[in-house]
Structure 1
Amino acid sequence: MMFNCFKRILVIILCFLFFSSIVAFGVESNTKLIINSEKNTSEDLKLKNQILLVYDKDSYFGEDKNVVRIIEETLGAFEVKVQRLGVKDYKKEDIFKFSYVFVLGIDGNFNNETFLKDLYEYEGKIFWIGKGVEHFLKDKSKQIKLNLSYFGSVNNITEIYYPGSKDRNMNYNEENKFYLQNEEDYSVLKTIGNLPKVYSYISNGEKYYPFALNSKNFWYISNIKDDDIKFSIFSDLLYDIFNIKNVKRGKVFIRIEDVNSFSDVNKLKKIAEYLNSEEIPFIISLVPTFVDDKSGYVNTISENKDFVDTVKYMVKLGGTVILKGYVQENGNSEELGKGFEFWNGKEDKPIDANMKTFIYNKVELGLRECVENQIFPLGFEAPKDAMDLRGYKEIKKYFSTYLGRYQSSDNKYTTTKLPYMVYNTEAFNKFVPENLGHLEKDNVLSVANIKENFNKISKVRGYTAGVYFHSYLEPEKLKQIVEYFKSREVDFLDLKEEENWVEFGDIKIKSKNGKIEAKYIKKDVSKKDAPKKLGYIASINSVLIVVIGFFCIVFLFIFFVSKKRDKNKFLR
């Protein structure tokens, strides 16, 4: 009798532990029905211009950047639809479905005769990028028609000249000259007569060679390996290829980096007041929570009213908030932004997680923390700009706008600086590039680096150029770069003047013409939505699983022993 009572008690305990673990797991995973509300994807648009991007390889030897993806994302600045195809997979007459053909030669292995034969007959615009062009120009009739021949490969190139769109007459002056520091091989074409138009030259200090040119329907650029002046030239030439005449003036933005509850609110106010006095709008990169690296305590902005009021004050002075992930560690350190959130930084690989659920939870917690404090982000940025394509696709469900640098590789951490905004691509609804670098605390050359980067980016028509400034730096350091931009008579980007949207469940935020509208159902984030210990629930879960497992073993042991005793009693 007593033994049966013990069994009943044990069953009740097991049931209690089982249902407790379910509740804990529900809190930890916070799994909900996720509605795919992806906005403005390129598949939804009927684009007139179709591009076939044919390539021999997608990456340079020893590098992790996916050049094919970079080109495809860059083309998102124009109303075109891109289909990529390895040259080995090319089938007869594939080329004739498209208005443009872009050929990317990394190794130059274009021995597919079917592709070359179709390319000879193709009457649309051809843009050959990099190596392998000798395979196309081996046809004598093409050489005569285009007034071009293959000269060969040259190296030891130290200078490149590009006047940009303001002055299409090639002048070998200092204003148009940029120095090259890497050792690359350049495939060079020889022009015959005056028909080919040369847009850019390279030089070894003695001889000059065409770097970018056009002859009839054929365009050529020798190399775009680095995201520097060579890539700027490529990006600017796209306007000519697509015959776009009216291009809006370029714009510059200043972003205040790692604004969080540990920031010095007095410095933040001074930064905002200075930029406001110069009539410069700015972007606030807000981190909603930080983890104390000693105690593991999660510090939310809701716990710091003075900080929340400071952010609102910055917004009134011209700031626009974007969400920089949800949580970062080392919250008590001056040098913030060290941690990865959407990338495994220790092993340099993608995070091992269900990205749909992972990002859903992060976005929900981050946005809720903001809106409950009447702070309304208009965009998103991943810490250290580290995120693979899975993450980009999830983020674009909830945010119209992503700001930062682009990671083209899903295997290794690497970033690329695009020169202008792109729209409706595989990775983004709208991408706002940050490409000028940042002011550094102890680096006296950081201002010079920003100026040099701007000289390159500003060669691109319709550029968007971004620089960031750490919130822990003295506001006086910002004056150096502001005065430089003022001297260049640039226009500054005000993100809230553009159309942006954020949609997540009941949270809906949108901006247009400087006005921000927000709708949401008010909740109490201070008590239940934000966990106070990072991984606290997960730890309880693990303990419960161990306890349940132990009691299951004990229960089975008692059950079989009891059954054996009952059998022995029956036999007696």
Structure 2
Amino acid sequence: MIEVRKKAIMFFLLAIFTFGICLPTSSYSSAPKLKTYIVYDSPNRFADSFPLVNALIEHLGHFDLACQPMALQEWKPGALQDAELIVYAGLSDVTLPQGLLQEMAHARRVIWFEKNIEQMAAYLHWQDFKLEGVFNGWSFINYKRDVFIDDWINVVIAQPGQNAQVFATVKDIVASKPLAWQRDNVYYCGLLEVHPKYMITLSGLLHQFIPNQNHNHSHSHKALLRIEDVSPLVNSEAVGAVIATITKYNIPFSIGVIPVGVTKDDRYIFLHERPNLLKVLKEAQDNGASIIMHGYTHQNKYSPKTGEGYEFWNARDDKPMENDDAFTSERIEAGIEELVRCGLTPVAFEPPHYAMSEAGYKVLSRYFNIFSGQIQISDKSDRLSLSLPYVTTSTYLNGMMVIPENMGYYDGKTFLVDHMLQSSEQILEIQDGFACFFYHGYLPPDKLPSIIEGLQKQGYEFYDLRQLPILVHSPKIKIIGRDGQLRVEVDAKLQSSWGSNPVDDNMFKKIGSVHITLLLLILGIFVVIIIRLRANANKHYE
């Protein structure tokens, strides 16, 4: 009895130990996010509609920060007393309150961009500090290496004094001046620019300026391949050829699926009505592909062609759709249902042409927690978008995780393979850099090998989206995933309304044409054998 108890105790302890090592260590070891305020005097530069502060906040979403934006006019005494990090964007010449400067001086760390730094220097009594002014005409930014800079770009030049450490400079043919430096608790950069051309500088400095308290930044680099615009209107053999080419490399990939296609005569073609295409997609999913919901029809009344049109944006007038909330939610719910009906499990969402209003993003975040693509960061125009160099948690998208697209795509005209690989090579210089490109499913796959092999030679590892924590939630469907395991829960009434699975129907037709006859023959033989056995038994008892 004692031996049995010992074995039971040992088994219990072993189970506890096994369960313990299987738990994510980050649940226990990660430090809380830094309480961070982003203070700004203007959301954009004078006479420029690009929301530069919004773009900066999206970059900050890559780090372990609890971000709270605060317009300068919203500040009140004591508002920043609990700040662990303050980020100030100085896009206008303004006079800062002494109380604000005092709270900044007592913060653990301040990151300061561009203007008004002389006021902070005066408050901190930096006697040898000198503001030289705002200048353009520079040739290079030197941060780890020389990067060309457009000569019209304005840079704030401030000499920080002897007790500073300089991280980056700007140069012309005559002089070199400090661009980024640190003195006391202030980390300064005289240029705030989010254009991909300056991605290396901004991203590198943010990694240098922001404490990595969880030690979770990596020098490894991931890549995502996305097959694009796969709708019920595309040729299933073309899509199959693209998938077959990728499969040869034994890498994970994703497919942007449009659940419904709208024809020129305004007929709706559902994915479950295309068994051949569905078979190709199901096999790809079974072999490791992640399904991304790429809109519902990838069109609307203002741009009506599926695969080319906008869906969640009025492209004709360059503004949000009317009744935006209802329009967005109806299409997202219908799209999730159609995909799950077909046996496809969406793990992320990608708006057609990356165009969606801020209200649309809020609706979207109720259904998906992962977003694939670039971010439209203003309702003023769909051209105001942001391409990121790494994965972020988006403030603008209400907390969604953003998997960026930053390499473009191949079209044989403007966008070429060499240009795509140049982009990925630039991202390779960024810590945690994440590269992503897409390739249309209806194109010949002949250019794919050079892109895949090019990324592998650069040192990228292709990423499986299903490894992420996944939550897709609609009123009648719930999808939960982590570490490659997905669970789908469907409302019983909804599932019964679908009838049989279209793939199963198609398979039954194949079985009926080849194997049903054989099955009936075997059944007939079995019946004959039973009859003869019974006849023999009757003779035995006569």
Q: Provide the residue aligned with 2:362 in structure 1.
A: 393
Q: Distance in 1 between matches of 2:306 and 2:190?
A: 40
In the alignment, is residue 236 of structure 1 matched against residue 236 of structure 2? no
| Cα displacement string for residues 335-385 of structure 1 (whole angstroms, at most 9, x for unaligned residues) | 964311111111111111151x22221112111111111011101111111
Q: Provide the residue aligned with 1:326 in structure 2.
A: 296
Q: Distance in 1 between matches of 2:124 and 2:324?
A: 55
Q: Provide the residue aligned with 2:228 in structure 1.
A: 257
Count of equivalent residues? 461
Structural mapping, 1:446-461, within 5 Å: 446-461=416-431
| Cα shift at 1:482 | 1.4
Moved over 6 A (4+): none
Structural mapping, 1:130-529, within 5 Å: 130-139=114-123, 141-144=125-128, 148-163=129-144, 176-181=145-150, 183-193=152-162, 195-244=163-212, 245-248=215-218, 249-293=220-264, 295-329=265-299, 337-355=307-325, 357-413=326-382, 414-423=384-393, 425-427=395-397, 428-443=399-414, 446-520=416-490, 521=492, 522-524=495-497
Q: Which amino acid aligns with 1:274?
A: T
Q: Distance in 2 between matches of 1:393 and 1:449?
A: 34
| Cα shift at 1:475 | 0.7
1:103 counterpart (83, 88, 104)? 88
Q: Distance in 2 between matches of 1:61 and 1:152?
A: 17
Q: Which amino acid aligns with 1:183?
A: W
Q: Provide the residue aligned with 1:56 in structure 2.
A: 41
Q: Which amino acid aligns with 1:225?
A: E
Please give the TM-score of this superposition, normalised by the length of structure 1.
0.75
Q: Distance in 2 between matches of 1:213 and 1:336?
A: 50
Q: Which amino acid aligns with 1:509?
A: I
Q: Distance in 1 between matches of 2:77 and 2:244?
A: 63
Please give the TM-score of this superposition, normalised by the length of structure 2.
0.79
Q: Which amino acid aligns with 1:161?
A: N
Q: Which amino acid aligns with 2:387?
A: K
Q: Distance in 2 between matches of 1:264 and 1:309?
A: 13
SS at match of 1:368: helix
- Of structures 1 and 2, the one scoring higher in RCO (CA 8 A, sep 6+) is 1
Residues 1:254 and 1:339: Cα distance change in structure 2 (over 3 Å):
same
Q: Provide the residue aligned with 2:98 in structure 1.
A: 114
SS at match of 2:81: helix
Q: Distance in 1 between matches of 2:368 and 2:36?
A: 27
| Cα shift at 1:138 | 4.2
Q: Which amino acid aligns with 2:117?
A: V
| Cα shift at 1:254 | 1.0
| Cα displacement string for residues 255-311 of structure 1 (whole angstroms, at most 9, x for unaligned residues) | 111011222322222222222221221110001112113x11112112111011111
Q: Which amino acid aligns with 2:96?
A: N
Q: Which runs of 5+ in 2 are unaligned?
A: 1-29, 501-542
Q: Provide the residue aligned with 1:69 in structure 2.
A: 54
Q: Provide the residue aligned with 2:510 in structure 1.
A: none
Residues 1:290 and 1:453: Cα distance change in structure 2 (over 3 Å):
same
Q: Distance in 1 between matches of 2:151 and 2:446?
A: 35
Q: Provide the residue aligned with 1:124 in structure 2.
A: 108
| Cα shift at 1:48 | 4.4
| Cα displacement string for residues 479-516 of structure 1 (whole angstroms, at most 9, x for unaligned residues) | 22212111111121110122212111231222222222
Contact 2:43–2:53 at 8 Å: present in 1 too? yes
SS at match of 1:50: strand
Q: Distance in 1 between matches of 2:307 and 2:109?
A: 44
Q: Distance in 2 between matches of 1:338 and 1:455?
A: 29
Q: Which amino acid aligns with 1:281?
A: P
Q: Distance in 1 between matches of 2:114 and 2:419?
A: 27
Q: Distance in 2 between matches of 1:426 and 1:372?
A: 31
Contact 1:324–1:380 at 8 Å: present in 2 too? yes
Contact 1:267–1:471 at 8 Å: present in 2 too? yes
| Cα shift at 1:161 | 2.6
| Cα displacement string for residues 490-543 of structure 1 (whole angstroms, at most 9, x for unaligned residues) | 12111012221211123122222222222213144599xxxxxxxxxxxxxxxx
Percent identity of equivalent pairs: 23
SS at match of 1:442: coil
Q: Distance in 2 between matches of 1:46 and 1:473?
A: 47
Contact 1:87–1:115 at 8 Å: present in 2 too? no
RMSD: 2.7
Q: Which amino acid aligns with 2:184?
A: K
Q: Provide the residue aligned with 1:168 in structure 2.
A: none
Residues 1:143 and 1:81: Cα distance change in structure 2 (over 3 Å):
farther
Q: Distance in 2 between matches of 1:201 and 1:316?
A: 51
Q: Distance in 2 between matches of 1:184 and 1:406?
A: 24
Q: Distance in 1 between matches of 2:467 and 2:168?
A: 36
Q: Which amino acid aligns with 2:56?
A: I
Residues 1:517 and 1:142: Cα distance change in structure 2 (over 3 Å):
same
Q: Which amino acid aligns with 1:152?
A: G
Q: Which amino acid aligns with 1:439?
A: Y
| Cα shift at 1:438 | 1.4
Q: Distance in 2 between matches of 1:250 and 1:229?
A: 19
| Cα shift at 1:471 | 1.7
Q: Which amino acid aligns with 2:232?
A: S
| Cα shift at 1:397 | 1.0
